[in-house]
C-alpha cells in the first residue's frame, strides 16, 4: 500500500443493504461484505466506505441513527464489523464508516433523556425548510410544548453543535470506532452542523447562488454553511491524527461553490482530509463544464490538499444513467476521468460494471426522498441470476453483472480494474500534478506529472488531440500499445491514457 493510502487512493462506496446478503433474508449485511472482499481486493480499491450501519428505524435508511456505537441487527453484530475490519486489513483495504453528526433519529434515547442536545424554540423562529416532505424545518413536540429543528425529515431532529456536550459525545463516538480499527469516516452533511446562534432567517436567493445553496428559493447561510463548523473539524482532525495510522475524515461537503467548498480542507492539513467534489457530480459529462470545475478546484485548494472525485452515490444516482444515459462507452470515459484526475476517486458499487439505475416500481419505493432515491440503491448483480433471494429492493436487470464481466477481459469491469492498477504502476497518475492541455472542442486533455497524458472525447465529432507517446490504456482496448506521433485521434466517447517515451 502507498502511504498515506487516501491521498491518491480509490474508495469504494458500499450501500450495505444492497451489496451482498450472507443469510438469504434479502438484506445485504456485513458478513456479505466480508465474503466479497476477495472481489474488492481483485478490483484493487484502497478503502471501502459503508453507508450507516447503526441501529435505526430507517425512516431515512440509516441516516436516522438511534445508537451510534452499535450495529443494526439487519446488518449483523459488532463482532461482524470487527471481522470485516480485520479481514479487509489483511487484504490491504481500509474500512470507513458513515458518521451522521447533524441529526439523530427521533428514537435516539437522547431526544427524550437529554433534550438539551437538540435545537429548540418556543415558536417557529424562522423560515428554515425541511429537506424531506417539504414544509418548515420546525415541528411541535407536544410532550415538551416546544418546536425542535429538523433540516431533514421530522424524524431526524438536529443536534445543537453550540452545546459542548454534543461535541464531547461525538469525540467519544469517533474514539469508539477508531479504537476498533476503523480507518475513518465519511461525514454526513458536513457543512450543516453548526446553525446560526440567533436562528436568523435564511435570505432570499438570487440567480447567482449555486443551486444547492439556494434550495427552496432561499440562500442557506444561517440554517447551514456556518463558518463555526470549521472549528469542529479542526478538533476532529487533531483527534484523527493522534492515531497510528492517522484516521481519515471525508466530508460530504454539499457545497457547489468551489472556493467555499475548498475551505473545509482548512490549511490543507488541519481540517478534512478529503471532501467529495459535488461541483463535478452536478456538471454534465461535457468537456467545457468539467474542465472548468477541475480548474476551479485546482485553483481553490491549498497546495497540500487532495480533491476527491465521484460520479455516483446513493443520493445523486448512478453515473451510467445520469451522465451517460446507459451508454457503456461513455461510462468508460467517465471512469477514465474520475480515475485519472489528480486526487482520490470514489466509485459507487456497480460503477465498475457500468451499472445503470435500477427499475423500482412505485409500489416498491421505500425512500422518504422526492424523487425517490431507490433506483440508485438496488442490489448488486453478482451474476446473471442476481445472487439474491427476494431482495429488499428489486433487482430486475442483471445484464451487466460481476460474474460475466469478470470472465470477459474486454469488459468495463476489467477496464476499471486495469485503470486502478495503472494508478499504482504510474506514480504520476496517482500522485502527479494536473495541467490542462489544449484540446479541440468537445474534447478534454490533461497532463499528470511529467510523463502521463490523458485525453477524452466527450463530444459528438471525431477529434485529434496533440499528445505524444504510447497508449497505455484506452476505452477501446484494442488500441493499447499504439504509438502516438503527431496526435491522438479519438472517436466520440473514446479516451486514452498516453505515456511518454
Ligand atoms: C446525506 C445522505 O447522503 C442522505 O442519504 C441523507 O438522506 C441526508 N444526508 C440526511 O442525512
Ligand atoms: Ca442478510
Q: Which of 14, 43, 12, 10 is nearest to 29 (CA)?
A: 14
**Residue 138 in domain:** no
Q: Side by side, which strands form the sheet with 469-474?
A: 434-437, 443-448, 452-457, 494-499, 469-474, 483-484
Is residue 60 within 6 Å of ligand 1 at its C-beta?
A: yes
Last residue of a domain, one of 429, 452, 473: 429
For 393, phi then psi, to 5°, come to: -120, 150
Q: Which helix (H) or strand (E) holds 197?
A: none
Q: Ligand 1 pocket test: pick from 14, 50, 57, 60 the residue with the most ligand atoms within 8 Å of its Cβ.
A: 60
pTM for the model: 0.97
Q: What is the mean pLDDT of residues 233-245?
A: 98
Buried b vs exposed e over 378-406: b needs ≥16 C-beta within 10 Å?
A: bbbbbeeebbbeebbbbbeebebbbebbb
- Quote the CA–CA distance of 459 and 282 in Å, as a whole number: 18
CA distances from 93 to 5, 39, 340, 416, 419 (A): 9, 12, 20, 17, 18
pLDDT in tens, 261-299: 999 999 999 999 999 999 999 999 999 999 999 999 999
Please tell me whether residues 423 and 454 are part of one structural domain: no
Domain interval for residue 442: 434-499
| Ligand lying nearest the CA atom of residue 24 | 2
Q: What is the mean pLDDT of residues 307-332?
A: 98
Last residue of a domain, one of 429, 447, 462: 429
Atom index in ligand 1 nearest the CA of residue 368 equals 7
Q: Ligand 1 pocket test: pick from 189, 224, 250, 316 the residue with the most ligand atoms within 8 Å of its Cβ.
A: 189
Q: Contacts by 161-165 with C-beta closer than 8 Å and gap 24+?
A: 161/101, 161/193, 161/194, 161/195, 161/228, 161/229, 161/232, 162/194, 162/195, 162/197, 163/116, 163/117, 165/114, 165/116, 165/117
- Quote the CA–CA distance of 222 and 266 in Å, as a whole number: 21
Task: Calculate how far, in angstroms, residue 52's C-alpha sits from the geometric centre of ligand 1.
Answer: 10
Is residue 188 within 6 Å of ligand 1 at its C-beta?
A: yes
* 3-class SS of residue 198: coil
- Quote the CA–CA distance of 456 and 474 in Å, as a whole number: 10
Is residue 348 within 6 Å of ligand 1 at its C-beta?
A: no
Please tell me whether residues 291 and 278 are part of one structural domain: yes
Is residue 63 within 6 Å of ligand 1 at its C-beta?
A: yes
Please tell me whether residues 341 and 488 are part of one structural domain: no
pLDDT in tens, 10-62: 999 999 999 999 999 999 999 999 999 999 999 999 999 999 999 999 999 99
- Identify whether the C-beta of residue 55 lies closer than 8 Å to the C-beta of residue 43: no
**Residue 275 in domain:** yes
**Residue 130 in domain:** no
Q: What is the mean pLDDT of residues 457-486?
A: 97
Q: Ligand 1 pocket test: pick from 152, 158, 215, 253 the residue with the most ligand atoms within 8 Å of its Cβ.
A: 152
CA distances from 211 to 159, 229, 382 (A): 25, 21, 37
CATH number at residue 481: 2.60.40.1180
- Identify whether the C-beta of residue 152 lies closer than 8 Å to the C-beta of residue 62: no
For 281, phi then psi, to 5°, come to: -55, -40
Please tell me whether residues 400 and 365 are part of one structural domain: yes
Is residue 152 within 6 Å of ligand 1 at its C-beta?
A: yes
Please tell me whether residues 402 and 471 are part of one structural domain: no
Q: Contacts by 287-290 with C-beta closer than 8 Å and gap 24+?
A: 287/439, 287/441, 287/442, 287/443, 287/444, 287/456, 287/458, 287/459, 290/337, 290/444, 290/458
For 230, phi then psi, to 5°, come to: -60, -30
Please tell me whether residues 421 and 450 are part of one structural domain: no
Is residue 315 within 6 Å of ligand 1 at its C-beta?
A: yes
Residue 188 designated active-site = yes
Please tell me whether residues 357 and 281 are part of one structural domain: yes
Strand duo 94-99 + 494-499: pairing: unpaired
Confidence of residue 2 (pLDDT cuts 50, 70, 90): low
> All 3 cell numbers of residue 170?
461525538
pLDDT at 214: 62
- Quote the CA–CA distance of 111 and 152 in Å, as a whole number: 16
Is residue 428 within 6 Å of ligand 1 at its C-beta?
A: no
Atom index in ligand 1 nearest the CA of residue 64 equals 11
Asked whether residue 216 carries a pLDDT value surpassing 70, the answer given is no
Task: Calculate how far, in angstroms, residue 404's C-alpha sits from the geometric centre of ligand 2.
Answer: 24
- Identify whether the C-beta of residue 396 lies closer than 8 Å to the C-beta of residue 359: yes
Which residues touch 275 (CB under 8 Å, ≥6 apart)?
190, 250, 251, 252, 253, 261, 264, 265, 308
Eight-state DSSP code of residue 277: -
Residue 494 designated active-site = no
Atom index in ligand 1 nearest the CA of residue 369 equals 7
**Residue 320 in domain:** yes
Give the active site residue among 196, 209, 252, 494. Answer: 252
Please tell me whether residues 363 and 474 are part of one structural domain: no
CATH number at residue 177: 3.20.20.80
Is residue 158 within 6 Å of ligand 1 at its C-beta?
A: no
CA-nearest residue for atom 10, ligand 1, is: 63
| Ligand lying nearest the CA atom of residue 313 | 1
Q: Contacts by 201-205 with C-beta closer than 8 Å and gap 24+?
A: 201/126, 201/127, 201/128, 202/126, 202/127, 202/128
Which residues touch 497 (CB under 8 Å, ≥6 apart)?
336, 340, 419, 422, 429, 452, 453, 454, 471, 472, 473, 474
Burial level of 200, CB count in 10 A (0-12/13-18/19+)?
middle
Please tell me whether residues 195 and 47 are part of one structural domain: yes
Please tell me whether residues 414 and 453 are part of one structural domain: no
pLDDT at 1: 47
Asked whether residue 490 carries a pLDDT value surpassing 60, the answer given is yes
- Quote the CA–CA distance of 349 and 19 in Å, as a whole number: 8
Beta strands, E only, 229-330? 248-251, 274-275, 308-310
Last residue of a domain, one of 429, 450, 470: 429
Task: Calculate how far, in angstroms, residue 447's C-alpha sits from the geometric centre of ligand 1.
Answer: 35
Task: Calculate how far, in angstroms, residue 212's C-alpha sits from the geometric centre of ligand 2.
Answer: 36
**Residue 144 in domain:** no
**Residue 148 in domain:** no
Task: Calculate how far, in angstroms, residue 407's C-alpha sits from the geometric centre of ligand 2.
Answer: 27
| Ligand lying nearest the CA atom of residue 390 | 2
What's the mean per-residue pLDDT of the chain?
96
**Residue 44 in domain:** yes
Task: Calculate how far, in angstroms, residue 62's C-alpha sits from the geometric centre of ligand 1.
Answer: 9
Question: What HEC string does 377-427 produce?
Answer: CCCCCCCCCCCCCCCCCCCCCCCCCHHHHHHCCCCHHHHHHHHHHHHHHCH
Give the active site residue among 29, 60, 155, 188. Answer: 188
Please tell me whether residues 476 and 341 are part of one structural domain: no
* 3-class SS of residue 74: coil
pLDDT in tens, 76-99: 999 999 999 999 999 999 999 999
Is residue 190 within 6 Å of ligand 1 at its C-beta?
A: no
Cis geometry, peptide bond prior to residue 4 (ω within 30 degrees of 0): yes
- Quote the CA–CA distance of 462 and 237 in Å, as a whole number: 47
pLDDT at 196: 97
| CA–centroid distance for 188 within its chain | 10
Is residue 189 within 6 Å of ligand 1 at its C-beta?
A: yes
Please tell me whether residues 77 and 199 are part of one structural domain: yes
pLDDT at 368: 97
**Residue 300 in domain:** yes
pLDDT at 301: 98
| Ligand lying nearest the CA atom of residue 276 | 1
Task: Calculate how far, in angstroms, residue 31's C-alpha sits from the geometric centre of ligand 2.
Answer: 8
Percent of the chain with pLDDT over 70: 98
Q: How many domains does the chain have?
A: 2
Q: What is the mean pLDDT of residues 373-389?
A: 98
Q: What is the mean pLDDT of residues 417-423?
A: 98
Tell me the residue length of the chain: 501
Amino acid at each position: 500500500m502507498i502511504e498515506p493510502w487516501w491521498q491518491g487512493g480509490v474508495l469504494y462506496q458500499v450501500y450495505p443493504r444492497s451489496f451482498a446478503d450472507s443469510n438469504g433474508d434479502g438484506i445485504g449485511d456485513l458478513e456479505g461484505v466480508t465474503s466479497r472482499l476477495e472481489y474488492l481486493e481483485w478490483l484493487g480499491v484502497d478503502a471501502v466506505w459503508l453507508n450507516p450501519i447503526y441501529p435505526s428505524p430507517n425512516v431515512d435508511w440509516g441516516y436516522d441513527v438511534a445508537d451510534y456505537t452499535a450495529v443494526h441487527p439487519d446488518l449483523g453484530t459488532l463482532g461482524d464489523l470487527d471481522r470485516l475490519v480485520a479481514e479487509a486489513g489483511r487484504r490491504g483495504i481500509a474500512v470507513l464508516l458513515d458518521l451522521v453528526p447533524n441529526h439523530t433519529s427521533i428514537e435516539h434515547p437522547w431526544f427524550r433523556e437529554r433534550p438539551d442536545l437538540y435545537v429548540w424554540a418556543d415558536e417557529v423562529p424562522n423560515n428554515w425548510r425541511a429537506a424531506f416532505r417539504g414544509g418548515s424545518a420546525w415541528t411541535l413536540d407536544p410532550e415538551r410544548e416546544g418546536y425542535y429543528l429538523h433540516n431533514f425529515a421530522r424524524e431526524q431532529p438536529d443536534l445543537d453543535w453550540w452545546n459542548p456536550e454534543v461535541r464531547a459525545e461525538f469525540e467519544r463516538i469517533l474514539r469508539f470506532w477508531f479504537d476498533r480499527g476503523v480507518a475513518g469516516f465519511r461525514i454526513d452533511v458536513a457543512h450543516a452542523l453548526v446553525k446560526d446562534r440567533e436562528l436568523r432567517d435564511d435570505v432570499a436567493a438570487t440567480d447567482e447562488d449555486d443551486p444547492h445553496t439556494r434550495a427552496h428559493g432561499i440562500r442557506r447561510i444561517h440554517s447551514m454553511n456556518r463558518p463555526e463548523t470549521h472549528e469542529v473539524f479542526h478538533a476532529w482532525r487533531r483527534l484523527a491524527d493522534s492515531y497510528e495510522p492517522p484516521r481519515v475524515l471525508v466530508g460530504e461537503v454539499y457545497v457547489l461553490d468551489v472556493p467555499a467548498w475548498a475551505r473545509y480542507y482548512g490549511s490543507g492539513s488541519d481540517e478534512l482530509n478529503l471532501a467529495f467534489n459535488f461541483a463535478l457530480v452536478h456538471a454534465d459529462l461535457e468537456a467545457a463544464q468539467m474542465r472548468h470545475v477541475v480548474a476551479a478546484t485546482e485553483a481553490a485548494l491549498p497546495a497540500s490538499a487532495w480533491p476527491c472525485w465521484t460520479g455516483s452515490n446513493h443520493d445523486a444516482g448512478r453515473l451510467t444513467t445520469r451522465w451517460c444515459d446507459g451508454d457503456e462507452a461513455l461510462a468508460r470515459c467517465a471512469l477514465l476521468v474520475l480515475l485519472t484526475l489528480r486526487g482520490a476517486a470514489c466509485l459507487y458499487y456497480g460503477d465498475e460494471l457500468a451499472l445503470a439505475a435500477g427499475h423500482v416500481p412505485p409500489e416498491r419505493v421505500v425512500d422518504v426522498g422526492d424523487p425517490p432515491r431507490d433506483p440508485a440503491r438496488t442490489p448488486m448483480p453478482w451474476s446473471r441470476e442476481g445472487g439474491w433471494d427476494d431482495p429488499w429492493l428489486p433487482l430486475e436487470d442483471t445484464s451487466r453483472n460481476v460474474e460475466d464481466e469478470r470472465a470477459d477481459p474486454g469488459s468495463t469491469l476489467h477496464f476499471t480494474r486495469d485503470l486502478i492498477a495503472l494508478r499504482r504502476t504510474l506514480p504520476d497518475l496517482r500522485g502527479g500534478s494536473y495541467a490542462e492541455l489544449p484540446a479541440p472542442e468537445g474534447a478534454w486533455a490533461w497532463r499528470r506529472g511529467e510523463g502521463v497524458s490523458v485525453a477524452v472525447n466527450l463530444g459528438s465529432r471525431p477529434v485529434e488531440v496533440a499528445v505524444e507517446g504510447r497508449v497505455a490504456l484506452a476505452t477501446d482496448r484494442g488500441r493499447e500499445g499504439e504509438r502516438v506521433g503527431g496526435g491522438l485521434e479519438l472517436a466520440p466517447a473514446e479516451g486514452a491514457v498516453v505515456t511518454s517515451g
